[in-house]
Amino acid sequence: MRNLIILFLLLALSLPGANARAGQNVASDAPKRVVVLDAGHGGPRPGKVHREVVEKDYVLDVTKIVRKKLRSKMPDLEVYMTRSCDSAYHEDQAKDNRLRAAFCNEKGADLYVGIHANALKDKNKGGCEVWVLTLNENLMNQNKLVGERYADEGDFINPEDIDRNSQGFMMALSRQLENEPYSRFVAEECCKNMASYGLDNLGVKAGTVYTVLYYSECPGIIVEMGYLTNAKDYAYLTSKGAKDEMAEAISSAIVTYFKALDGDTSTSVPATTESNAEQEVEEREAVDESEAEKLAEGYTIQLISSTKEVDVNDYQFHEYKGRVWLVMGTGKYKYKYCFGRYATRSAAQNDLTAVRKRFKDAYVVRYKDGALVTK
């Protein structure tokens, strides 16, 4: 099975991402950003219920406030909600979640944000957390261990039911490889913001294959605003102003994320002020500039892919402006913008850590005569 997964990874890396949306949007001159807000549950499915709090109602209130705040913070941002009342897409929960993902895809979303509240038999468990999609086999198998946490069957996919040989899984894996760094970025921001209001920060979680994240084509997160079954969390979530504060935490994370994509360095994005890291890259480059021009075959670090040509001095390349070069690939996202030319893979890998401090999904690729080598 391990070899099969490795094969899928290699195939996914060689295919143009089904959603190279992040690279595509960054490459556009005036990107129109789209976010889909999904208030969890609804209609016949109440979600978690504890005392007088019904999750579907609570999260809908918070989601509406998030929408209002986003319209104020980013007037040009297109904001959609999967539901604005007590409704559901389908009586079957799994189909309901797939239809929410379809709605997200139809809107051409750059980000999906599901908003939920947690509950657990263990009343000592408390804190905020944010889930992202991963298709790592070991993490997926954790689904079996956490299944009892979910009130609604169909919220997540049993990894044993996923056909590893299917085209759908391969496409989902390809999307996940491209989207996960972006999802983790906004998830970390969201966790940090919610914890600033006194909730314990349980951090970014992965392993549970949420149905809606699996079928969404864009980066996405599932926000859990605390445990209704925990006395501390319950007291906070039912306190005056808590809904507004949670909405502020979530909306601020979304704004930070989109500003980061658009190269706004005035945001609270963890800046790569580690000029030392950049110096290390320069110092450790496998070949100098004159030698690089002679190196017709070797390895390079891919930063982004795009559907169109981009100026190598574009702002999105940050500290790497003017040092980026174009490697041609195939498919829709054939323009691969890369940094460095290396004689060996290990030399490129040495610089990858520093590069990922700015481009979190960067990875090493092989090239020959200015074109990507996929075999």
Least confident of 51-55, 158-162, 353-357: 158-162
Identity of the amino acid at 238: T
Vertex 185, ends 180 and 189: CA angle to 5°?
A: 145
As given in the structure block, the two tokens for residue 232 are 């501390």
CB 116 within 8 Å of CB 225: yes
What 4-7 contacts at long range (C-beta under 8 Å, 24+ apart), as own/partner pairs, is 4/164, 5/137, 5/164
Give all domains of the chain, ordered by start, each with its CATH number: 2-261 (3.40.630.40), 275-373 (3.30.70)
**What average pLDDT does the chain have?**
80
Separation of alpha carbons 338 and 352, rounded Å? 12
β-partners of residue 283 are none
* pLDDT confidence of residue 332: 85
Least confident of 106-110, 170-174, 255-259: 170-174
The predicted-structure confidence for 259-314, as pLDDT tens digits, reads as follows 988 776 454 434 333 334 444 444 444 333 444 444 678 899 999 988 888 888 77
Q: Is the pLDDT higher at 305 or at 127?
A: 127
Over range 169-175, report the average pLDDT.
76
Identity of the amino acid at 87: S
Query: DSSP labels for 258-274?
Result: HHHHTT-TTSSS-----
Identity of the amino acid at 100: R
Helices within the chain (DSSP H only): 2-14, 21-27, 55-73, 93-106, 137-140, 143-146, 167-195, 211-215, 231-237, 242-261, 275-284, 289-294, 345-355
Dihedral over Cα of 323, 328, 332, 338: its sign: negative
CA distances, 302 to each of 5, 288, 316, 338 (Å): 22, 18, 14, 4
Instruction: For residue 75, count CB atoms less than 10 angstroms from its CB and return exposed for 0-12, middle for 13-18, buried for 19 or more.
Output: exposed
Strand order in the sheet with 34-39: 78-81, 34-39, 111-118, 220-227, 128-131, 201-205
Query: DSSP labels for 50-111?
Result: ETTEEHHHHHHHHHHHHHHHHHHH-TTSEEEES-SSS--S-SSHHHHHHHHHHHHHHTT-SE
- With cut-offs at 50, 70 and 90, classify the pLDDT of residue 158: low
Residue with tokens 């299944």: 147
Is residue 8 scored above 70 in pLDDT?
no
CA distances, 340 to each of 33, 286, 288, 305 (Å): 31, 8, 9, 16
Over range 73-98, report the average pLDDT.
92
* pLDDT confidence of residue 20: 40
Separation of alpha carbons 176 and 174, rounded Å? 5
Cα–Cα nearest to 284, from 355, 235, 227: 355
The predicted-structure confidence for 324-343, as pLDDT tens digits, reads as follows 889 998 888 899 999 888 88
Least confident of 24-28, 130-134, 260-264: 24-28
* pLDDT confidence of residue 277: 40
pTM of the model: 0.63
**Strand (E) positions, 323-362?**
324-328, 335-342
The predicted-structure confidence for 39-53, as pLDDT tens digits, reads as follows 999 999 999 999 999
User: Residues 221-254, buried b or exposed e (16+ Cβ, 10 A)?
Assistant: bbbbbbbbbbeebbebbeeeebbebbbbbbbbbb
* pLDDT confidence of residue 159: 66
Query: DSSP labels for 214-232?
Result: HH-SS-EEEEEEEETTSHH
